[in-house]
A and B are shown apart, each in its own frame.
Chain A
Amino acid sequence: MVTPARYWREIPQRYRLEAGKCTRCGKTYFPPRLVCACGAREFEIVRLKDEGTLQTFTVIRVAPSQFVDEAPYAIGIVELNDGVRLTAQVVDCDVEHLEIGQKVKVEFRRIQTVGEAGILCYGYKCVPV
């Protein structure tokens, strides 16, 4: 369920891939957190690499209502080149011939449309390179 405040809060992550890097141990969290597994609470904001590798994926054939028009679509877990992993759709490709290990680039795309007013929500999707 997307609401305006909720959507707005996540914009730094969805538009710019902003993550939190622990200033003590260097571990990077996406989205940023307030405390690191090492116990430290100081982070610097960093932007994630926009290229990575597909770790696993599926093709959604039975989609949630707001994605029905796009089905079938591929979605996967991507490990970016700085080691951070995220879930994103894989688009502009033949979903029947995707494979684990596919190199991808992260791009800024429309993700879904919500509500009767049809508010457009943007974020990241991956494209094979």
Chain B
Amino acid sequence: MRDVAVIGIGMTKWGELWDKALRDIFVETALLAIDDAGVDHIDSMYVGCMTSALFVGQEHLASQLADYLGMGPIPAARVESACASGGLAVKQGFLEVAAGFSDIVLVSGVEKMTDVGGDQATYALSTAADQEYEGFHGVTFPGLYAMMARAHMHTYGTTREQLAHVAVKNHRHGALNPLAQYPFEVTVEGVLSSVMVADPLRILDCSPITDGAAAVILCPLDMAKTLTDKPVVKITGVGHATDTIALHSRDDVTTLNATAKAGEAAYQMAGKKPEDIDLAEVHDCFTIAEICVIEALGFIEKGKGGTAAESGLTALGGKIPVNASGGLKAKGHPVGATGVAQVVEIVKQLRGEADKRQVEGARVGLTQNMGGSGGSTLVHILEVQ
């Protein structure tokens, strides 16, 4: 297996991009990554996208996007694992380069969610849950995470205020990210007085509906040094695991088994432990998600995750900054793009290009991207050479 490096990154401002089509959002971002890498061609590409069918009525997406990027007839494939589609695309690109099948691979993630109304968007997202045994009964995605939150509060004494602190922290970080959809701060009182969506979760506990894309260029590590003068970032750990997609089928709804397993695999491959990680971008689709994720990744003891944001452990300047980019909460969550955007942020940080939200001296970063209520998870560990 060849070592794999990230030599190019691209991301544009996320938000409600009514004037842009999915293909335009993708091409803008892919060109940024291609220019950042300084390459004149790509050999292959992967696109992570959860459901272009339900959001824009378009399938056969990868061929269309390769064409509009001016790269046809290269091989192009779309991969899907609900909200972890982007992370899965990164893994597939990694495998293709590592295997020696291609040298320069574009990995992107994209989702165009605002072409449909709120009802249709809610339905599209709900397809990541078990349609016959969860969706049929009227549970929503906020509802599934709300049930995790209530169980976590009941079992471990996690408080409603502690959940709010996750949103407050991630918005504080996001306010420093000019590409974030919502680059402003919120207060604990603001979160606690926002509209109730699914008890105990309020609207400011939830990540938003977003249009956006992100892209990276991968190549063999040996080649990276000849292609770019920028600090070379190597992908040293890749972990991927699954869990039941129905929340009720799990023995403990507060434990994200797929995240724990994917984390263990990535740590082992990279030869790292949780305490070796300088910063992480994790899947805070809801405030409770970040709490359960940092427990599953071993950043904090099981049951204590609620204290992390409030104590500053996971804030910029803390021991393990989590979601310096603003996370899904403030940066936005165009579902298929999220896993790739996490890698973009970590590469920015490891290159020292993260400006006001720079984690000083960051050498090792981790990304965690999950689908649905945790039924799939990708973890990547990246290190600057």
Contacts and interface: CB of A to CB of B under 8 A. Distances in A.
A35 to B, nearest CB: 15
Interface string B196-234: 111111000000000000000000000000000000000
Given A55-B253, A61-B197, A64-B126, A112 B248 contact: no
Contacts of A89: 137-138
B130 to A, nearest CB: 8
Nearest to A66: B138
B134 A58 contact: no
Contact of A31 (B123, B133, B137, B197): B133
A121 B136 CA distance: 9
Contacts, number: 96
A77 B247 contact: yes
B203 to A, nearest CB: 8
Nearest to A74: B199
Interface residues of A, number: 34
A85 B138 contact: no
B137 A57 contact: no
B147 A63 contact: no
Interface string B148-168: 101100100000000000000
A56 B198 contact: no
Nearest to A99: B154
A86 B134 CA distance: 8
A62 interface: yes
B139 A75 contact: yes
Contact of B147 (A56, A61, A88, A112): A56
Interface string B78-103: 00000000000000000000000000
A70 B138 contact: yes
Contacts of A57: 147, 150
Contact of A67 (B138, B147, B154, B197): B138
B122 interface: yes
B237 interface: no
Interface in A13-49: 14, 31
Nearest to A95: B199
A82 interface: no
Interface in A81-101: 85-89, 100
Contacts of B123: 1, 64-65
A67 B249 CA distance: 24
Nearest to A125: B137
Contacts of A73: 138
A60 B198 contact: yes
A10 interface: yes
A123 B137 contact: yes
B138 A112 contact: yes
A2 interface: yes
A56 B133 CA distance: 16
A116 B41 CA distance: 51
Q: Lowest 5 A-B CB distances belong to which pairs? A: A58-B146, A56-B151, A59-B199, A67-B138, A85-B248
8 contacts: A2-B136, A56-B253, A58-B146, A58-B201, A75-B137, A77-B247, A100-B154, A112-B136
